[in-house]
Amino acid sequence: MSNIHNVLDNICAKFEKETLRSYVDRLDFKSYRAAHKPRLTARHRKSRLRWAKEHLNWTEGQWRSVVWSDESRFCVEGSKRGKRVLRKEGERYDERNIMPTVKCGGGGAMVWGGGFGPLEIIDTSSIDQETYINILANRFHPWFTMSRRIRKGILSSKRMVDVSIIHNSI
């Protein structure tokens, strides 16, 4: 609401809070927390679209043979809930209502895992290409090789990655 007051002050219009709330309510806007999504560049969007088109006609069997893996950061200090936005229902993911996220910062634990495989605790607040390659080589690959032998080939050698720069480093 303070941003709205700043805009209104700039055009020399003074409104009482209740008048403004009433007007915003009549326009069917409500206050929500901003949605969080990774910050995507045009290159990211293009890469994701290409990936989706390449896998569009995969069979259920092909998808079952995939081992998904990713890293995640778990915050242990402070609220990361973020700013509030005024929007209408159904507009949550409109660009103007999103608080972009980035994979950096402190105050948490970073972990990496995949499928039923090992969970790797990472010593830093973000993961780089070298760390990612070391995890794949020293933790994921040995587990995956052993897992395939135990399950007699139920798992294939497919490993899916998203468009993260570090995931495409190998």
Question: Which residue numbers in the chain have pLDDT < 70?
Answer: 1-15, 75-82, 101-107, 125-126, 149-170
Which residue segment(s) compose the domain that 111 sits in? Answer: 57-84+102-168
For tokens 């020293």, name the residue. 138
pLDDT of residue 143: 86
Query: Residue 44 falls within a domain, yes or no?
Result: no
Q: Give, for 43, the enclosing helix (H) or strand (E).
A: helix 42-54
pLDDT of residue 87: 84
Q: What is the CATH number of the domain that holds 61?
A: 3.30.420.10
pLDDT of residue 8: 59
How far apart, in whole angstroms, are the C-alpha atoms of residue 113 and residue 136?
Answer: 10
Query: Residue 130 falls within a domain, yes or no?
Result: yes
How far apart, in whole angstroms, are the C-alpha atoms of residue 83 and residue 131?
Answer: 32
pLDDT of residue 151: 59
63-106: pLDDT as tens digits: 887 888 888 877 665 455 667 888 888 988 888 888 776 554 55
Average pLDDT over all residues of the chain: 75
SS3 21: helix
Query: Residue 46 falls within a domain, yes or no?
Result: no
Q: Model's pTM, two decimal places?
A: 0.50
Give the count of alpha carbons within 13 A of 1, CB side only. 13
Asked if 122 and 131 touch (Cβ cutoff 8 Å), the reply is yes
pLDDT of residue 165: 58
Query: Residue 129 falls within a domain, yes or no?
Result: yes
Query: Residue 151 falls within a domain, yes or no?
Result: yes
What's the domain count of the chain?
Answer: 1
Query: Residue 39 falls within a domain, yes or no?
Result: no
Query: Residue 150 falls within a domain, yes or no?
Result: yes
